[in-house]
Structure 1
Amino acid sequence: MAQIITEVSRTFNEFLLLPNRTRTDCSPATVDLRTPLSRHAVGERPAVELRVPFTSAIMQAVSTPELAIALARNGGLSFLHHNRSIQDQVAAVGQVKNVEAGAVTGAATPHSDARPDDMTRPLVGAGVNTHDYRERVPALADAGVDALCFDSSDGYSDWQAEALAWVKKHYPEIPAGGGNVVDGDAFVFLAEAGADFVKVGVGGGSICITRDQKGIGRGQASAVLDVAAARDAYRERTGVHVPVCSDGGLVHDYHVALALAMGADFVMMGRYFAGFDQAAGAKLATRDGFVKEYWGEGSNRARNWQRYGQGGQGLLFEEGVDGYVPYAGDLGEGLALTVAKLRTTMVSCGSATLEEFRSSARLTLVSDQSFQGSHANVALRAASPAVH
């Protein structure tokens, strides 16, 4: 009979952080959000480090060259999508890497021994697949890509392990991540195959219907906690830290803090970035304000032959939908607000670094009534009250 996992599959909405003692030297201005993107020996510098723990999803509706440049300027990294010809993806990478020095601030590494290229070019990643990686990866490497990520709704497969092993053999200098997974066994499988980071999340994205269609997935909080525990055990056993990326299920800004507290080294978001000016979706006016188009890579609109069949076979069923997200303005302004919230949350938890946050954070489960009590419960006024 099937194995039954008795632990409840939990989402971020079911948790809150408990405050810890805040030291006098711990303030939002002193919080250090640097985090590794690539595997490294404990105590050594990773090949790629982010200044803020944010990456944008490998999606047509999200990661444009314009968004990649803006996110790099603010310390994060975008993964340009691969559902197109190799030439088109290479051109998109080149568009980002050709930004001149002086325009990029967040991409520069804080280390004094920084490579010259780190100081003059924005960081950019690229999604790849298990079909044409032998042709696509060399071209992306020549274009100067800083990181690769194998993109699959289910990365616990021999195909992905073989592809990772090939990339690490031929291009060991380029970090290559794997995923997606939802449990510790899958993490170890990809880490031992050579993954430089492992992406966590199946079915939790706002645009994803994998759970409805296939009955596969896991609550994102449970998945991150399980994989992070396996990551820590792997580090203890091997002396190597393989970063964990939480991908999907991040509905509110505070969910980012929860994901990081639960063990993620960085997060990947689609819906969040899709609302900014720099994302690909068209900006449309509605009765209630502006929105931007947003669609999943598993939707018919994406025409993602690399995931769902080649040779004109087409998409047998969808694992994503086509919709809209609220318009969010400029990425720099929006991300600055999210980062400010993250910094103040960490201060309330007495943490000045992400490593300290992961090791000392305390989490409590939330009942449905407690969750409802977390929100405002008054009639909000549309305008200021009259002055008497």
Structure 2
Amino acid sequence: MAYYYPEPSRTFSEYLLVPGYTSPDCIPANVNLRTPLTKFRKGEEEPAISLNIPMVSAIMQSVSGTDLAIALAKEGGISFIYGSQSIEDEAAMVAKVKGYKAGFVVSDSNLRPDNTLADVLALVEEKGHSTIAVTDDGTANGKLLGVVTGRDYRVSRMTTNEKVADFMTPLEKLVTAPDTTSLKVANDIIWDNKLNSLPIIDAEGHLCYFVFRKDYSQHKDNPQEVLDSEKRYLVGAGINTLDYKERVPALVEAGVDVLCIDSSEGYSCWQKMTIDFIREKYGDTVKVGAGNVVDREG
């Protein structure tokens, strides 16, 4: 049933900002646009998630993909990956954003020593990364045997069936660091040894992470970037009230920082059921927003 509001309507053009006094403190360097994204209790100093600029991108296929999510996080905002796609595809997009920038990066380009140059070229084409870890089992956490970069091979002077073991830089020639190394110390090692990457290995010699010189440089170029506790970009994701029992766990596993129920009407039992599921399964560790609402009751 329609409801008539007797109060007069207003438009934005009816409101004007009256200029105030400009003091010596009114300079750009003193402007702080830090904005809480999630609510927090009175007395708490910081919310769970804050942005450095008050900008969030819409949960739309034509807007919030991985490229915008990375670009906006660099500037201090956050994107919400659109949920109008398969669960697997949305989770993959979240994982791509989380893996793009990190202080300690889990290697996504890995081969065995018996792989060939053809495998190297195919992996570089697929992943877009030039640093490939060579492990005993070809996984990101296998025992590190060496590293292949663009400096280890020349396509014009080699055959594509040459074994990785024959041209990789072997472990004994690499500078590595133990898994107890802090990010600051890792960056110092990179600079002191003029490295582009530093493998981080555990006591048994298994690869844990890489630390890259370019990540340090990118942080200096983007001081407002928003990062999680592991120095990865923040990213959100949209969910619906239909397949949330399958979609939410997949997104959480992918590393999503915050969820938002993507709906034109928030005043519904379906949104409450979705939130109840998240709270029962994850407590307050998974942050979620709901909406849209147009009045206090809704």
User: TM-score, normalised to structure 2's length?
Assistant: 0.56
How far, CA to CA, are the matches of 1:11 and 1:68 in structure 2?
Answer: 32
CA contact (8 A) 1:57 1:63 kept: yes
How far, CA to CA, are the matches of 2:271 and 2:14 in structure 1?
Answer: 32
Which of residues 97, 116, 127 in structure 1 aligns to 2:229? 116
Larger radius of gyration: 2
How far, CA to CA, are the matches of 1:49 and 1:128 in structure 2?
Answer: 21
How far, CA to CA, are the matches of 2:297 and 2:281 in structure 1?
Answer: 26
RMSD: 1.8
| One-letter amino acid of the structure 2 residue matched with residue 185 of structure 1 | E
How far, CA to CA, are the matches of 2:24 and 2:30 in structure 1?
Answer: 11
- CA shift in 2, pair 1:9/1:146, >3 Å: farther
CA contact (8 A) 2:51 2:226 kept: no
Which of residues 242, 255, 263 in structure 2 aligns to 1:152? 263
Q: Post-superposition shift, 1:129? A: 0.4
**Structure 2 residue 164 is matched with structure 1 residue 51:** no
Aligned to 1:180: 292
- Unaligned segments of structure 2, at least 5 residues: 103-214
* 1:225-244: CA deviation from partner (whole Å, max 9, x where unpaired): xxxxxxxxxxxxxxxxxxxx
Q: Post-superposition shift, 1:169? A: 2.3
Aligned to 2:100: 99
| One-letter amino acid of the structure 1 residue matched with residue 285 of structure 2 | E
Q: Secondary structure of the residue that 1:180 maps to in structure 2? A: coil
Q: Post-superposition shift, 1:2? A: 5.2
CA contact (8 A) 2:59 2:82 kept: yes
| One-letter amino acid of the structure 1 residue matched with residue 15 of structure 2 | F
Instruction: Give the fraction of aligned pairs with identical amino acids, expressed as a percent.
Output: 50
Q: How does 1:162-311 map to 2 (within 5 A)?
A: 162-171=273-282, 172-186=284-298
CA contact (8 A) 2:82 2:238 kept: yes
Q: Post-superposition shift, 1:173? A: 0.9
How far, CA to CA, are the matches of 1:164 and 1:144 in structure 2?
Answer: 19
Aligned to 2:248: 137
Q: How does 1:81-92 map to 2 (within 5 A)?
A: 81-92=82-93
Higher relative contact order (CA 8 A, sep 6+): 1
- CA shift in 2, pair 1:108/1:77, >3 Å: closer
Q: Post-superposition shift, 1:135? A: 0.5
CA contact (8 A) 1:147 1:175 kept: yes
CA contact (8 A) 1:75 1:107 kept: yes
Aligned to 1:161: 272
Aligned to 1:227: none
How far, CA to CA, are the matches of 2:62 and 2:14 in structure 1?
Answer: 29
CA contact (8 A) 1:37 1:49 kept: yes
* 1:133-184: CA deviation from partner (whole Å, max 9, x where unpaired): 1110000000000000001111111111221122122222121001111112
Q: Secondary structure of the residue that 2:272 maps to in structure 1? A: helix
How far, CA to CA, are the matches of 2:63 and 2:56 in structure 1?
Answer: 11
How far, CA to CA, are the matches of 1:154 and 1:108 in structure 2?
Answer: 30
How far, CA to CA, are the matches of 1:167 and 1:2 in structure 2?
Answer: 33
* 1:12-54: CA deviation from partner (whole Å, max 9, x where unpaired): 3442222223332122221110011111112311111000000
Aligned to 2:21: 21
CA contact (8 A) 1:56 1:79 kept: yes
* 1:254-277: CA deviation from partner (whole Å, max 9, x where unpaired): xxxxxxxxxxxxxxxxxxxxxxxx
How far, CA to CA, are the matches of 1:20 and 1:169 in structure 2?
Answer: 49
- Unaligned segments of structure 1, at least 5 residues: 110-114, 187-388
How far, CA to CA, are the matches of 2:25 and 2:48 in structure 1?
Answer: 30
CA contact (8 A) 1:155 1:179 kept: yes
Q: Secondary structure of the residue that 1:42 maps to in structure 2? A: coil
CA contact (8 A) 2:98 2:234 kept: yes
Q: Secondary structure of the residue that 1:66 maps to in structure 2? A: helix
